[in-house]
Chains A and B, each alone.
Chain A
Amino acid sequence: MASSDKAPDSMPVGDGSVPPGKPLTMGHQVIDKSAQMLQTLKPIKQMSQHVCTFAVYGHDMSRQIEAHHYITRVNQDFLQSAVYDSNDSSAHLIGVEYIVSDRIFDTLSHEEQKLWHSHDHEVTSGMWVNPGVPEMIQKSELENIAHTYGKFWCTWQVDRGDRLPLGAPALMMSPQVVNMGVIKPELVRVRDNKFKISTEELRKQRANFAVSKPGNARAADYWMHTGKGFAIDIEHVEMKMLEGPKYP
């Protein structure tokens, strides 16, 4: 019915804007503001870091994107992030990434590990950056992140031209030092200009980071060991029902 690695059957029409639709009306802005004043939005207030980095589609590694993570640290070993395609107020929510320490990663089953990617190269190469935060302050957190593994599902393939979030969620992979994991220099250049940073400089400064010992039993970065990626299909099945009520 739908697959993460197949283009949508048709593209929603409109004036080309992503998403299509009318600008937010004044009336709606007023409703929003009233609600906002009365509600506490606690989980959102826990987001404490903005990170800019890059990700690669697991089913087509020629497609690479700049990704903006808004991260909540849940405990010393676990972080959760909402991922957007830019850091603007008009950014599209393109997915969610979960990050676990190597300790927690090692408790995952082999089958589960295949869905995850490592972060050491992403950090030591300078790809992973907290824009605006001095490198000195970032250092301990970066060393921490360099020992973690991530699981990133992308639900809106904006880079493919999708004007609305279409299809099945796609599994993403991380930048790596070899082959298709290498991020296109042009993408990095655009990012660096936007945030006035030099990824190359960061790479030099981070060269001495202690990285996660590469456990031979670890199945992360599946594509690097096997040349295989993953796609997600969505299929029709009979829904397990409750006794009584009909559906829909």
Chain B
Amino acid sequence: MDPVHASILPEVPGEKTKIGTSLVDTAAATIQSFGPTKQIHQHLCAFHFYADDMTRQVEAHHYCGHLNEDMRQCLIYDRPDADARLIGLEYIVTEELFLTLPDTEKPMWHSHEYEVKSGVLFLPGVPGPVERKDLEKVAKTYGKTIHFWQVDRGDELPLGLPQVMMALTRDGQLYPSLAKDVESRYGVSFEKERANRAYMEGPTHGIHPKANAAGIGLKTVLREIECKPSVQSESVPRVFV
């Protein structure tokens, strides 16, 4: 299926927000503090594909904040607009933290070296020199991305299971149409950026062989289980006697 841009996909079903409903939003926005989301300082545009299907590629707008020098957490939207759909999240860690992950965990994480060095990952609106100061660090990191809403297959709602996502690792993987679309919308040139970023280096120890789905692929599966603890347990106090 040819990839399409998020803006031509079907709208989220539902009525327009009523005035009365939005009053609460306005009140809440002025009274409440938004500690965790105030930490989100950066918009980063990149591409993901499904860990079991490289032919399905998605433009991903990351909104990131630092938890500390070694870790960022990002919300992922399908477009950088007010009506954007929250489609997933990503955690980004330095090589140092990545290496402490158990081997069974590493395949769920992907490397960022290629995306950064090829220019396809960028910070919209930020001038090259400032952007590069951050991206030279990102080039050495690993990310764990989960998407919950498969907008690329036309889902109007977030249906089904969470999907592990992977990132581009070499030339020839990204659909030229997706690349051209992003380049023209943002007035950037991936080729030009690639030249500017030639000096950057990936992880010090090289890309770990277990990262990037260990070069195979990953899929999520649902399993039904007995409720733990037992729903029949009498040791749990009941509200109604």
B36 and A49 contacting across the interface, CB-CB below 8 Å? no
Question: Which residue of A45, A82, A138, A182 is within 8 Å of B82 (Cβ)?
Answer: A45
A32-B42, A240-B54 known; 19 new pairs, CB 8 Å cut-off, are A1-B107, A32-B41, A42-B81, A60-B228, A75-B12, A78-B14, A80-B86, A88-B36, A107-B13, A166-B102, A168-B220, A169-B162, A223-B231, A232-B161, A232-B223, A234-B220, A240-B53, A240-B55, A245-B170
Best-buried of B81, B123, B146, B215 by chain A (most CB within 10 Å): B146
CA distance A112 to B124 in the complex (A): 36
Interface residues on B, range: 35 or more
B residues near A128, Cβ cutoff 8 Å: none
CA distance A235 to B51 in the complex (A): 10
Chosen A-B contacts, 11 in total, with CB atoms closer than 8 Å, are A35-B43, A38-B126, A39-B126, A61-B227, A76-B15, A93-B91, A104-B14, A132-B32, A156-B91, A182-B239, A240-B53
Q: Produce 1/0 per residue, A167-191, CB < 8 A to B.
A: 1110000000111101000000000
Asked whether A10 and B239 contact (CB < 8 A) given A47-B37, A76-B16, the answer is no
Residue A137 is within 8 A (CB to CB) of chain B in the complex: yes
Give A35-94 interface residues, CB cut-off 8 Å to B.
35-36, 38-50, 59-62, 68, 70, 72-78, 80-82, 84, 86-93
Asked whether A24 and B157 contact (CB < 8 A) given A2-B104, A12-B100, A43-B82, the answer is no
CA distance A31 to B130 in the complex (A): 7
B73 and A245 contacting across the interface, CB-CB below 8 Å? no
Best-buried of A13, A44, A100 by chain B (most CB within 10 Å): A44
Question: Which residue of B97, B134, B220 is within 8 Å of A232 (Cβ)?
Answer: B220
Residue A210 is within 8 A (CB to CB) of chain B in the complex: no
A24 and B73 contacting across the interface, CB-CB below 8 Å? no
Asked whether A178 and B239 contact (CB < 8 A) given A35-B123, A35-B130, A70-B36, the answer is yes
Best-buried of B15, B26, B27, B77 by chain A (most CB within 10 Å): B27
Question: Which residue of A24, A74, A228 is within 8 Å of B83 (Cβ)?
Answer: A74
B residues near A167, Cβ cutoff 8 Å: 105
B148 and A96 contacting across the interface, CB-CB below 8 Å? yes
B214 and A236 contacting across the interface, CB-CB below 8 Å? yes
Chain B contact residues, CB within 8 Å of chain A: 12-18, 20-29, 31-43, 51-55, 61, 63, 66-71, 73, 75, 77, 80-86, 88-89, 91, 93-94, 96-97, 100-105, 107-108, 111, 123-127, 130-131, 133-134, 137, 144, 146, 148-149, 157-162, 164, 166, 169-173, 207, 211-233, 236-240
A residues near B31, Cβ cutoff 8 Å: 132-133
B85 and A238 contacting across the interface, CB-CB below 8 Å? no
A19 and B67 contacting across the interface, CB-CB below 8 Å? yes
B22 and A73 contacting across the interface, CB-CB below 8 Å? yes
Residue A164 is within 8 A (CB to CB) of chain B in the complex: yes
Residue A119 is within 8 A (CB to CB) of chain B in the complex: no
B28 and A89 contacting across the interface, CB-CB below 8 Å? no
B220 and A237 contacting across the interface, CB-CB below 8 Å? no
B148 and A233 contacting across the interface, CB-CB below 8 Å? no
Inter-chain residue pair count (beta carbon < 8 A): 377
A76 and B227 contacting across the interface, CB-CB below 8 Å? no
Interface residue total, chain A, C-beta cutoff 8 A: 118
CA distance A54 to B165 in the complex (A): 28
CA distance A235 to B100 in the complex (A): 21
* Min C-beta distance of B231 to chain A, whole Å: 4
B residues near A32, Cβ cutoff 8 Å: 41-42, 66, 134
A residues near B164, Cβ cutoff 8 Å: 234
* Min C-beta distance of B161 to chain A, whole Å: 7
Residue A16 is within 8 A (CB to CB) of chain B in the complex: no
B residues near A141, Cβ cutoff 8 Å: 21, 24-25
Closest B residue to A222 by CB, please name it.
B224
CA distance A82 to B83 in the complex (A): 15
CA distance A178 to B241 in the complex (A): 11
A residues near B26, Cβ cutoff 8 Å: 48
A231 and B223 contacting across the interface, CB-CB below 8 Å? yes
Closest B residue to A46 by CB, please name it.
B82
Residue A217 is within 8 A (CB to CB) of chain B in the complex: no
A78 and B220 contacting across the interface, CB-CB below 8 Å? no
B225 and A59 contacting across the interface, CB-CB below 8 Å? yes
* Min C-beta distance of A154 to chain B, whole Å: 10
Asked whether A238 and B146 contact (CB < 8 A) given A41-B43, A43-B82, A244-B172, the answer is no
Residue A199 is within 8 A (CB to CB) of chain B in the complex: no
Asked whether A84 and B36 contact (CB < 8 A) given A35-B134, A166-B102, A233-B220, the answer is yes
B residues near A9, Cβ cutoff 8 Å: 102-105
